[in-house]
Amino acid sequence: MSNLLGLEVKKIVETTPEEVETVKNWINTEEYKEKNFARQALVINPAHACQPLGAQLVAHGFEGTLPFVHGSQGCASYYRSTLNRHFREPAPAVSDAMSEDGAVFGGQNNLHEGLENAVALYKPKMIAVFTSCMPEVIGDDLTAFIKNAKQKSVVPKELQIPYANTPSFNGTHIHGYDSMLVSILQTLTEGKQIEGRCTGKLNLIPGCDFNTGDYREYKRILKEFGVPYTILADIGDTFDSPCDGTYNIYAGGTKLDDAADSINGKATIAIGPYSTPKTFNWVKDNYSGKHVSMPMPMGIEKTDAFIMKVAELFGKEVPASLKNERGRAVDAVTDSHQYMHGKKFAVYGDPDYLTGYVSFLLEMGARPHHILCSRGSKKLEKELQALLDGSMYGKDCKIYMNKDLWHLRSLIMTDPVEAIIGDTHGKFAARDAGIPLFRFGFPVFDRVNKHRYPIIGYQGVVNMVTEICNKFIDIKDETCEDRYFEMMR
Amino acid sequence: MSNLLGLEVKKIVETTPEEVETVKNWINTEEYKEKNFARQALVINPAHACQPLGAQLVAHGFEGTLPFVHGSQGCASYYRSTLNRHFREPAPAVSDAMSEDGAVFGGQNNLHEGLENAVALYKPKMIAVFTSCMPEVIGDDLTAFIKNAKQKSVVPKELQIPYANTPSFNGTHIHGYDSMLVSILQTLTEGKQIEGRCTGKLNLIPGCDFNTGDYREYKRILKEFGVPYTILADIGDTFDSPCDGTYNIYAGGTKLDDAADSINGKATIAIGPYSTPKTFNWVKDNYSGKHVSMPMPMGIEKTDAFIMKVAELFGKEVPASLKNERGRAVDAVTDSHQYMHGKKFAVYGDPDYLTGYVSFLLEMGARPHHILCSRGSKKLEKELQALLDGSMYGKDCKIYMNKDLWHLRSLIMTDPVEAIIGDTHGKFAARDAGIPLFRFGFPVFDRVNKHRYPIIGYQGVVNMVTEICNKFIDIKDETCEDRYFEMMR
Amino acid sequence: MSDKIRKIEGITKESTQAMIDDALAAYPEKGRKKRAPHLAPNDAASGCASVKSNKKTVPGVMSARGCAYAGAKGVVWGPIRDMVHVSHGPVGCGWYSWGTRRNLMSGITGVNNFAMQFTSDFQEKDIVYGGDKKLAVLLREAKELFPLAKGISVLSECPVGLIGDDINSVAKASSKELDIPIIPCNCEGFRGVSQSLGHHISNDTIRDYIIETREFAEPSSPYDIALIGDYNIGGDVWSAKSLLEEIGLNVKSVWTGDGELEKIAATHTVKLNLIHCYRSMNYMCKVMEEKYGIPWLEFNFFGPTKIRESLRAIGARFDQTIQDKVEMTIAKYEPIMQAIIDEYKPRLDGKKVMLLVGGLRPRHTIGAYEDLGMDCVGSGYEFAHTDDYDRTAPEMPEATVVYDDPSEYEFEKFAHALKPDLIGSGIKEKYVFQKMGIPFRQMHSWDYSGPYHGYNGFEIFARDVDMAVNSPTWKLVKAPF
Amino acid sequence: MSDKIRKIEGITKESTQAMIDDALAAYPEKGRKKRAPHLAPNDAASGCASVKSNKKTVPGVMSARGCAYAGAKGVVWGPIRDMVHVSHGPVGCGWYSWGTRRNLMSGITGVNNFAMQFTSDFQEKDIVYGGDKKLAVLLREAKELFPLAKGISVLSECPVGLIGDDINSVAKASSKELDIPIIPCNCEGFRGVSQSLGHHISNDTIRDYIIETREFAEPSSPYDIALIGDYNIGGDVWSAKSLLEEIGLNVKSVWTGDGELEKIAATHTVKLNLIHCYRSMNYMCKVMEEKYGIPWLEFNFFGPTKIRESLRAIGARFDQTIQDKVEMTIAKYEPIMQAIIDEYKPRLDGKKVMLLVGGLRPRHTIGAYEDLGMDCVGSGYEFAHTDDYDRTAPEMPEATVVYDDPSEYEFEKFAHALKPDLIGSGIKEKYVFQKMGIPFRQMHSWDYSGPYHGYNGFEIFARDVDMAVNSPTWKLVKAPF
């Protein structure tokens, strides 16, 4: 026996079609669901990525900023390819390619050589360093490493190199987003606070939002208001840049000066409390002006809250154009409520998206029957339950924290719903259950331009209502008997 | 035998399933197609309405204007319900309910009583009168009738009552649009031309366009240009008004003063040459400033032409924002060309929509294989053929003038294509052929909000590319074997 | 229900009349005089019409009425599935009525059902030189391209009657030539006051050209009936028919929902005509009673109360076997209906509904709303006649407003005054009232839902009414800023 | 083709070297010194590598390389359909590689194929206290929830190797306890220089834990072969396998596209190993040759020219029956291929393509491009070794640039200089070059198309290349204002 397992040589025994059929049915049963939910160690089809991906998203949101992964080169390629596939856009980022020797001696040499080469080749205005597993496990001291790099003038003194510890073994990409954002703001605003100075601007922190359409929508709303603004971590152009014959490695992002001056802003709204807690707490203690943390403005009511907060913070009337826009969104909602009323949905995604989906569905009289977050918290569960309790359509809806999409599959196969709101990863469960999947979350690899159509704001409501209702009508047209196939829907 | 037919009483003979099966297959054959195309008298499933519907659309495009059907009440209810179903919006219009006595004595009494009641109840700023079959057949003299109404002070002297002869037995709704528009402009601008006065504005005539999103898109583009404008026949708000608890019978439309002053405009662009020939010719002879007739700006190239014409007419650079927007549309197009390349389409609709569809498809490398207009012209055929000749993808595409959707059914059942671009009426042929239908035209009764998403301009390109590509991918996901069902598309 | 007279708190003859006068105030003298007799408080006890009706539409007031062609092609002929219905004249009328009435049909479109848009597409030259020659060619083409069609109808649009064409003789000649029934119907839109004349002309055309030209192949039975005046809106016929069959009756033919020409032609052999829409088909019921001695019975399949009454009334016309089945059927469905009422009534009790539909439903559906605890605070018809309004008086609560062919102006004024929780009317009214934040259900087309007839219909009706009235979306209408 | 040395007009050793030097100019001293040996003009005649390779990635230059875990899980283990592949460590690595490589699989997901994302989802406490206990529990859960799995692989991510876990012993114990093969693979991402070490570790793991643990049930035949190094991207294995079967061979097992563990385990009994991707699987070919005397043959199924050469080379290893079938198959497909070439070559003749893919395709696909008349003006690998570059020299035209693990900076500079009509590389490069208006095809994932292997693959490849190069959308890139 030449293999280490010491197993005797067996004849190949093919699995029989009957066995396949039995198991195929078994995995849809209540019994299987119990076993599945009894899992303690194995995670199957989780619906979140790891911290550094969120950090890279933030880095892409600043002018001339090069994301720099201190750790294995494989991580950088994985974060880049994920963002390429979601946005269908370039996602330039470098790593300092730590390997075995880094495990022994630490990553300082890699970092220094990496910084030197990156500056030479890509001439960044800022380098945002964040860590993948290796340096976190071996405990690299990045503060020191970066200080030494400047001392050894590996990089120009004045080059700003914020860094964040983004260990993959706790939290998800939204926590990496938070850590990197607060570090960048701390670095850029250092020494920039001027007593009595007020930029008169709103600092808007969109939170860990992978929809470029949302960034454009925030800007359009603020322009209608006549409120000057700085978006902090603006990927609206970086990941939706023109194709005009030239490649611009830094295609957008918040101007560094604006970010620096943001500490003197009139007010700061941090959208998405679950992906900006650290940032918001630091801003509250360090930024002048008022500070508000608000949920993602998905649905009419949450958009109203956002609009009214901007009006309140800047002492402005809500402009007629936005009132009108609200009326048109409510018109779309009342005109098509019959296509969504009472329909059961399974929804999963990042916490800030989830509170948005649930509010939107309840507003429409639809029922978020299974609500699942693969990395949730008590706080999130309480907030979601409060939303459910506030509507008769929330009655027999249930919340599942820290469950994965294989759990979700058991749920929808044993307690069927009419559709899933999530991202590309939900397509397997949706196909098994024979129901449509609405790709409002992240990542979306298998459709085009989903990230260009906002899901926040009044226009976001119209976009979601249109996609959901028209898909339900498509299905009716495609599956009804001939005698029920008709002109009117 | 008590019936007039003199037929002897027969036993009921049910059609046999075999007979049904035979005929079911027969109507998909080449032989049937020949018979079908040999039709001289019977029209089946035509893809156009009659003139007065277009006239009513124009009337809704002017501030405080009440559409007034001189003829049978049934017509008004039909035009109103058609517009209600397409826009899911109110469509207030009155008729003077001509009936048998009208046939004998003419419709003057009806007209006068109708005008009096309409003014009293609905207090219009203008009444746009147009005719359905009866007055056209019996030859009512509306000029005289309206003059007499004013003389008998049935209506206030100063109330403007433009009218148009819109006989249903020639042309289609786009010709009614033209007649009513030119009549309204003639009425409003009468005596308003002032030597040397220039409003500095662009008069934009959108043509017979049933997409409210397009009107908003034209306005947004002109606002980005900083070019002041007057949209002539602006239904953008009339048929997309807010739901805020109050019903406003006149919810939008071009301000009458603006329309009056438009004769002194800096330039006039008439979009859609097939639905505005009379209007454009009259404008050319009577309006100051420059005059241009252009096709509907569907697709990148036709939008470029429109943008450059506005720039040229107003001596302005194309703003960076629009250049950027163009780049993002080209980005969407190049990023998803693989989902449309080489795909065969059947397209039908109004002439101005058709030239737009064909340009857009050829630009994408797709093939407008069957091009059908149920009321086309030699001129249209030549223009479409020129588009086809300008691209290798136009090679074996064919144009069918004055054919109906039952002809189209024969075409796609004998010479299959992958999709249809048209309107709700194409759903029966699409279902028989098992292919998707893209509802970019008019009317759309069986989906929601299609008219809110522009199909003109750069954003129109992104909207059409997104809907078409994502539907093709939907079909691939829904029909592929399990082993080809995958994350990436 | 219809025996006890209900009252609505706050609604008296005086309050209703004041509301009416307020609406009429805006009219010019002549208009007000014409309209006044058509608006009145309901006199529940009188059992007779409180308003005038079936009068010429007042010009310029924005009436909801359609025309004779709409009554003929839209209501009566369109639903007959195995005929080619030719809209004879310009392209518009057929195009506007193509598939918009939701009279669903079995079969394969273009093969053995013809839910399509056939027209002679009149051009100028047809107006000038007449359309008869074109009609003859067209009939030949229709026969050739649709061999399984059992007949062809030629439905005149306005110009045909004005240019002196003679479609009757063309139909006669072509019918012989093509050996297929070709039915001319002179339903020019300018004739009469509303859709109603179109129904009447069509009933006469069935009398003159169709009835008694066919016989059923199978032997007749004592339980043979015909379902008259059900047009299969959203599948109503399929629901009503299955219920009638459940109580043991043979529904030999349906006028005209999912209708078959030959079965309509053989209806003179049934034992009883059951008529749902009295307005559109009472004519032929009377003809069949006179000529063939077939009794007819009006019935109402909206809501468990009316269904129970109707089933028992129908049962009374037959023997014990049928009556036993009636009781068994009622016993079987009533618990299901009660469960529906228990689920929805708590959220609908005491809510107010206003109705404006065509010729039947403004009275016929009130029972179903009341089964859900709702009150009808106003109703009226587009094209009813006095006999309809007579039947309406007992169905509506005392002193509630009755409006015949109301203008949009009047309907809006009444809605502002009465503040209904739901309005049931048509597509032309839907978005006017939804803009005001008033929930609305289309009661012509069941708002693309249905069926609403029969027991399974009530389940769908109740769900839809609750959805409309209690949709949380209405709470969004008032902006918080 | 590979014998005759091709030249590209305007490309000389000097011009290429100048281009390289210009790119290197931007580097700091140390970076330039490290990079220079990895960029060189091709020496077609020499038949040996013109560049250094398989060296540590230079930090900070934006290399396209992945890591050892990607080579193990992504390339070798992932495609095996009937095993549960556990990404052992934090959630990221498994999530980023979930379904993104397009190694398609037969069977029903979650039942008898496991194209899913299994992970131990390491948290802080697993780093601090070790993950071995958790692994044991996890393996039990996997066995229970997926009874039809033929085996479980445990693929280490970075932390596992750093915290001293002993997955080998856990695997051994659990394998006995659960009576199922559990294969530990120490492919921590920080090991080695690229994906390549991941392939190597995985080959060793197959050697140590899998090969020779199974036997085929059916008797062996002289025509038994194994298809090595085909990962069924977009269905490549299904296309290659059908072609090999058409020439009479029995494809007993596939390494590892749509792979089955037990068949891989029984591969030691085949007569010949046919290897497509030399880089990732040459290790086990050598092992099987040494231990079981199985000869192996590199072959190339890209494009008719290479397919013909390969089929004949394969045929030569077998008897006349096979060789006759080879000739028959070539005769059958070549006309079809010629028709494809006739359709697309006119629009592709003389067009220039630049390639940057993983470890095989930068040389292996050149033949297919040349069959369409295109010229390769530059190529290079992410993680090839010297023996790959030796094989590349004869495939590329004289003096064209060869780049080993090029940075995005270098690749952009070369593209600007060479102005290719098409670039074939990966998702990280695609949109960079499309922004420049340069047509692009992903040559890792076939841009979600494929298969590209074999005769039916060439048809799809040719259509896609023509679509990309000649899409009219590129004409829109330059704005007219």
Secondary structure (3-state) at D72: helix
Using CB atoms, which chains have 3+ pairs under 8 A with D?
A, B
The DSSP output letter for B232 is S
Nearest to C473 among A323, A365, A488 (CB): A365
Strands in A163-164's sheet, in edge-to-edge order, are A94-95, A65-70, A126-131, A163-164
* Phi (first) and psi of residue B246, to 5 degrees: -125, 145
Q: What is the mean pLDDT of residues A356-362?
A: 98
List D70, D142, D187, D368, catalytic entry: D70
Its pTM stands at 0.98
Q: What is the pLDDT of residue B1?
A: 43
Is B95 part of the contact surface with chain C (CB cutoff 8 Å)? yes
Q: Cβ A74–D89 below 8 Å, yes or no?
A: no
Is B308 part of the contact surface with chain D (CB cutoff 8 Å)? yes
Q: Among candidates D466, D465, D459, D464, which has minimal Cα distance to D307?
A: D459
CB contacts of A304 in chain C (<8 Å) are 479-481
Q: What is the pLDDT of residue C3?
A: 57
Q: What is the pLDDT of residue C4?
A: 74
Please report, in tens digits, the pLDDT of each residue of chain B (489 residues total): 445 555 678 899 999 999 999 999 999 999 999 999 999 999 999 999 999 999 999 999 999 999 999 999 999 999 999 999 999 999 999 999 999 999 889 999 999 999 999 999 999 999 999 999 999 999 999 999 999 999 999 999 999 999 999 999 999 999 999 999 999 999 999 999 999 999 999 999 999 999 999 999 999 999 999 999 999 999 999 999 999 999 999 999 999 999 999 999 999 999 999 999 999 999 999 999 999 999 999 999 999 999 999 999 999 999 999 999 999 999 999 999 999 999 999 999 999 999 999 999 999 999 999 999 999 999 999 999 999 999 999 999 999 999 999 999 999 999 999 999 999 999 999 999 999 999 999 999 999 999 999 999 999 999 999 999 999 999 999 999 999 999 999
Q: What is the pLDDT of residue B3?
A: 57
Say which residues have a Cβ less than 8 Å from residue B105's Cβ, sequence separation at least 6: none
Evaluate if residue A10 carries a pLDDT over 90: no
Question: Nearest-CA distance from A34 to chain D in Å?
Answer: 11
C-D interface (Cβ pairs under 8 Å ≥ 3): no
List A20, A23, A50, A137, catalytic entry: A137
Q: Which of residues 212-251 of D touch B (CB under 8 A)?
A: 235
CB contacts of B449 in chain A (<8 Å) are 332, 336, 462, 465-466, 470
Instruction: Supply B303's token pair.
Output: 């939008």
Neighbours of D205 (CB within 10 A): 21
Q: Cβ D117–A45 below 8 Å, yes or no?
A: yes
Nearest to B300 among D100, D104, D476 (CB): D476
Q: Cβ D90–A168 below 8 Å, yes or no?
A: yes
Whether the Cβ atoms of residue A93 and residue A79 lie closer than 8 Å to each other: yes
The CB-side HSE value for A325 (13 A sphere, CA atoms) comes to: 22
Minimum Cα–Cα distance from B439: chain A residue: A470
Give C66-106 pLDDT, tens digit per residue: 999 999 999 999 999 999 999 999 999 999 999 999 999 99
Give D236-259 pLDDT, tens digit per residue: 999 999 999 999 999 999 999 999
Minimum Cα–Cα distance from D68: chain A residue: A74
Q: Cβ A338–C472 below 8 Å, yes or no?
A: no
- Element containing residue A125 per DSSP (H, E): none
Cα–Cα distance measured from residue A91 to residue A77, given in angstroms and rounded to the nearest whole number: 10
Q: Cβ B308–D481 below 8 Å, yes or no?
A: yes
Nearest to D471 among B308, B341, B488 (CB): B341
Q: Residue A3: which pLDDT band, with cuts at 50, 70 and 90?
A: low
Is D478 part of the contact surface with chain B (CB cutoff 8 Å)? no
Q: What is the DSSP string of D462-475?
A: HHHHHHHHH-GGGG
Q: What is the pLDDT of residue B4?
A: 58
Instruction: Say which range, A160-169, B7-16, D354-363, has the weakest mean pLDDT.
Output: B7-16
Strands in B344-348's sheet, in edge-to-edge order, are B398-401, B367-373, B344-348, B419-422, B437-439
Nearest to A42 among D30, D57, D138 (CB): D138
Instruction: Supply B126's token pair.
Output: 């203008």
Q: What distances in angstroms separate CA C80 from CA C84, C183, C232, C252, D426, one per listed residue?
A: 9, 13, 10, 15, 61
Q: Is D93 a catalytic residue?
A: no
Q: What is the DSSP string of A95-122?
A: E----HHHHHH-SHHHHHHHHHHHHHHH
Q: What distances in angstroms separate CA D390 from CA C282, D45, D297, one per listed residue?
A: 95, 11, 17
Is B67 part of the contact surface with chain C (CB cutoff 8 Å)? no
Q: What distances in angstroms separate CA B472 from CA A475, B438, B439, C199, D449, one per listed residue?
A: 15, 11, 15, 46, 14
Q: Among candidates A172, A143, A100, A147, which has minimal Cα distance to A401?
A: A172
Instruction: Say which range, A293-297, A383-387, B103-107, D38-42, has the weakest mean pLDDT.
Output: B103-107
Evaluate if residue A191 carries a pLDDT over 50: yes
Nearest to B445 among A241, A449, A487 (CB): A487
Positive/negative CA dihedral, B404, B405, B410, B414: positive
- Element containing residue A249 per DSSP (H, E): none
Q: Cβ B243–C477 below 8 Å, yes or no?
A: yes
Strands in D118-119's sheet, in edge-to-edge order, are A43-44, D118-119, D83-88, D151-156, D182-185
Say which residues have a Cβ less than 8 Å from residue C338's Cβ, sequence separation at least 6: C304
Evaluate if residue C277 carries a pLDDT over 90: yes
Q: Residue D2: which pLDDT band, with cuts at 50, 70 and 90?
A: very low
Question: Nearest-CA distance from C224 to chain A in Å?
Answer: 25
Is A82 part of the contact surface with chain D (CB cutoff 8 Å)? yes
Is B448 part of the contact surface with chain C (CB cutoff 8 Å)? no
Say which residues have a Cβ less than 8 Å from residue A463's Cβ, sequence separation at least 6: A453, A454, A455
Secondary structure (3-state) at D250: strand
Q: What is the mean pLDDT of chain C?
A: 97
Q: What is the mean pLDDT of chain D?
A: 97
Q: What is the ipTM of this complex?
A: 0.97
List D23, D40, D49, D67, catalytic entry: D67
Cα–Cα distance measured from residue A63 to residue A80, given in angstroms and rounded to the nearest whole number: 18
Q: Cβ A241–B323 below 8 Å, yes or no?
A: no
Cα–Cα distance measured from residue D148 to residue C230, given in angstroms and rounded to the nearest whole number: 58
Nearest to A452 among B88, B462, B477 (CB): B462
Q: Among candidates B428, A472, A489, B50, which has minimal Cα distance to C100?
A: A489
Q: Residue C1: which pLDDT band, with cuts at 50, 70 and 90?
A: very low
Burial class (CB in 10 A: 0-12, 13-18, 19+), C128: exposed
CB contacts of C112 in chain B (<8 Å) are 15, 20, 23
Beta-ladder partners of C224: C250
Q: What distances in angstroms separate CA A419 from CA A349, C188, C449, one per listed residue?
A: 14, 49, 21
Q: What is the mean pLDDT of residues A36-48?
A: 98
List A119, A133, A154, A330, catalytic entry: A133
Q: What is the DSSP string of A187-223?
A: HHHTT---TT-----EEEE--S---HHHHHHHHHHHH
Nearest to D100 among B341, B483, B487 (CB): B487
Evaluate if residue A124 carries a pLDDT over 50: yes
Q: Among candidates C47, C39, C102, C96, which has minimal Cα distance to C67?
A: C96
Evaluate if residue C310 carries a pLDDT over 70: yes
Q: Is B292 a catalytic residue?
A: no
Question: Nearest-CA distance from B149 to chain A in Å?
Answer: 39
Buried (b) or exposed (e) across A322-339, using 16+ Cβ within 10 A? bbbbbbbbbbbbbbbbbb
Q: Cβ B339–A448 below 8 Å, yes or no?
A: yes
Amino acid at C98: W
Q: Which of residues 214-253 of A touch D (CB under 8 A)?
A: 241, 243-248
Inter-axis angle of helices D236-246 and D454-470, to 10 degrees?
140
Amino acid at B485: F
Q: Is C67 a catalytic residue?
A: yes
Positive/negative CA dihedral, A436, A440, A446, A448: positive
CB contacts of B241 in chain A (<8 Å) are 327-328, 331
Q: What is the mean pLDDT of residues A126-139?
A: 97
Place of tokens 């228990």: C342
Instruction: Supply B487's token pair.
Output: 């994350």
Whether the Cβ atoms of residue D367 and residue D300 lie closer than 8 Å to each other: yes
